[in-house]
Each structure stands twice: as C-alpha cells, then as structure tokens.
Amino acid sequence: MRKSPRQQLLEHYRAHARDLPWRTPPGAKAAPDPYHVWLSEVMLQQTTVATVAPRFDAFLARWPTVEAMAAAPLEEVLGQWAGLGYYARARNLHACAVAVAGRGGFPDSEAGLRALPGIGDYTAAAVAAIAFGREAVVVDTNVERVVARYFAIRRPVKDARAEIRERAAFFYEGVDAGAMAQALMDLGATICRPRTPDCAACPLADTCAAHAGGDPASIPPRPPRKARPERHGTAFVIERDGAIFLVRRPEKGVLGGMAALPGSAWRDGAPPAPAAAAAAIRHVFTHFALTLAVESRPEPPRDVEGWWQPRDRLAQAGLPTLYVKALAAFDAARGAPSLLP
C-alpha cells in the first residue's frame, strides 16, 4: 500500500531532522520544554537559525527558566537581545515572561497562548502543537512556501494566505501536529528552498503540483520590491574620563528602549551635503534605510537623560547594531582603537 504524503514527510523528518538546541529529537521520550519552544519561536521571527542558535544558548545560560527571565529588569533583556533586530520582540518577550510567571506556567491551548503579551496566531499554534501536543495548523514562512508549491498556488503569499492556511490543514489531518510542523519547517528550510529547491531530495516530489509543472522555483511568485524610503540623522560621540555618554531610546518606535548614542531626530529624505561629521554609515532597516552621520561633541545635550558607560564595559550596554557600526566607523576615521571588542 502506497504511503500518504503525510507519512512520507514524517518518515523523512524522523530520518533527517535538524539538530537544533531548542528541539526535542523525533521519538524522544522527554516532552519539549514550553519555555524553550516559546523562546526559540520568538527569536526565530525574521531571524535565521544560524544567528539564533548561539544566542538561544546565551539566553538560557543567563535565564534558565521563564521565572528567571521574568525577574530580570527589562533593560537586561534588551541588552542581551542587542544585535538580533526587531527589538519590539524583546520587550514582548519580557512582558510575556512576566505574565507566564505570574500565572504559574504557560497555558497549553492556542487560545490561552494568544492571550499572552506578544504572542500571535503563529506562535500560539507552534507552542500549542510542539510543546503540548495540541491539534493546530502551524504555518510559518517556510510552511507557506511548501504548501504554495505543493498545491501550485500561483499568487503572491500576501494575497493567498487564507488559501494557503486552508490547504495546509491537509498535512495536519490525523497526525502529531508538533512533528508535522517541524517536518514542514525543515523541508522548507533545507529542501524546498526559496530560489533553489532540491526536488530530487524531496519526499513530496511525486505528488507536488509545482514539481509536476516543471518550475517550482517560480511558486509562489515574488512581488516586485518597493524602493526603501531614505532617512538621515546624526549621532554624537561624547567622551569623558574613559567613558562614553549613552541614552535610552523611547520605548515606542524603532530600537525602542535600547541603549543608544544621543543624536538628532531621523528625518525623511537623502542626507544633506557632508558637514563636520567624523564618519557616516548607512544602515538598512526593514522599512527604510538610514544614513547616520557620526560627530564628536564635548558635552551631552541639555535636558537629555543618560549615563556614562566605561569604555571597557561598553559591550555590556547592549548597543544595537546601528550604534556598534557608528562607533566602529568613528574609531576608524580617527585611527583610534575600537571602543568595542
């Protein structure tokens, strides 16, 4: 009797599952730790596995339980998150940890998980299925691509999400939803890749409509990229007695709550003609690109709250990548040793 596509995929997963620090291997007797599953899912949002894996281990070393993270100041969590981007995730991470610790543990249903701060439909489904064995249809970007190709859905993902989710339910019928979710994620990450799908290695190739059509890489079609808006601003490097003056950005907005160099507001448009800046960098965010001039200033701006961070402990401030780049460019321009390791 011919095996179903679901059986073929799950068998492939059991034989080829990725070894990830947050994952319980297929067939393991120990149940997945909900804290590990939740933490990894938040960290992996729009961030690669290669980037997250070492940072996940660092988070666990510092906060081995959700209660430990809940007891930490928000500033420490933001600092530990530095460099991972999308910093609203760190604020939501801490708020969710506080809520989970307050109720005595994670709820085990999609509805209960969705009620927690910062947990949306996808994360709720993933944690419910993987950590608690609940029935759920888990659809991330990798799963969207696999499903779109399997059923030859020839519309951009943003226009076809409802259909993709409806079709994805086919894979979850009558099987362990947690195992299937991870099987589909692995398939999309390692075989059904965006530009170079390896159909020869795919357990679903015989029944995949996109493979039958001869051009699976064309599905789902990618909409044309829109030009990113340009913004510009200035950052100030203020030094005194072996320390540098830092501020904390407003809680809401880009890099909310993160340590930063003081500076001007970011304005729309191309930067003006070069002035007295010691250096300049260009940093691309998701929705805009920023050109940041970096200037030396003798004193902190008036009425600006901040603190003096010793140079030899600058790495502990948790500066986001933008300001690490700005300081590196500033140091290079004046031929000085880097302020950061």
Q: Which CATH code for domain 230-334?
A: 3.90.79.10
Looking at per-residue pLDDT, the higher value among 256 and 337 belongs to 256
Phi, psi of 247 (to 5 degrees): -130, 175
Task: Answer whether residue 276 shows pLDDT above 80.
Answer: no
What percent of the chain is predicted at pLDDT more than 70?
96
Q: What is the pTM of this model?
A: 0.83
For 67-114, the pLDDT digits (tens) are 999 999 998 998 899 888 888 899 999 999 999 999 999 999 999 999
Residues 6 or more apart whose Cβ sits within 8 Å of residue 273:
none
296, containing H or E segment: strand 289-296
Q: What is the DSSP string of 261-291?
A: --BPPPEESS--S--S-SEEEEEE-SS-EEE
Give span(s): CATH 3.90.79.10, the chain: 230-334
What does the pLDDT average to over 252-270? 89
Task: Answer whether residue 337 shows pLDDT above 70.
Answer: no
224: number of Cβ within 10 Å: 5
Q: Identify the sign of the CA torsion 48, 50, 53, 58.
A: negative
Give span(s): CATH 1.10.340.30, the chain: 5-218
Task: Answer whether residue 236 shows pLDDT above 70.
Answer: yes
Quote the mean pLDDT of the chain.
92
Catalytic choice (11, 41, 135, 251): 41
Q: What type of residue is 276?
A: A
Q: Angle, nearest 10°, between helix axes 121-132 and 177-190?
A: 120
Q: Angle, nearest 10°, between helix axes 177-190 and 5-16?
A: 70
Shortest CA distance to 145 belongs to which of 207, 86, 210, 206?
A: 210
Q: Clarify whether 239 is annotated catalytic.
A: no
Shortest CA distance to 181 belongs to which of 6, 2, 48?
A: 6
Least confident piece of the model among 8-17, 226-235, 251-260: 251-260
Residue 285: is it exposed, middle or buried by C-beta count within 10 angstroms (0-12/13-18/19+)?
middle
At 16, is the pLDDT very low, low, confident or very high (cuts 50, 70, 90)? very high
At 137, is the pLDDT very low, low, confident or very high (cuts 50, 70, 90)? very high
Q: Which two tokens stand for residue 256?
A: 């909310």
Taking CA 69 as the corner, what is the angle to CA 33 and CA 30, rounded to the nearest 5 degrees?
10
At 1, is the pLDDT very low, low, confident or very high (cuts 50, 70, 90)? low
Q: Which CATH code for domain 5-218?
A: 1.10.340.30
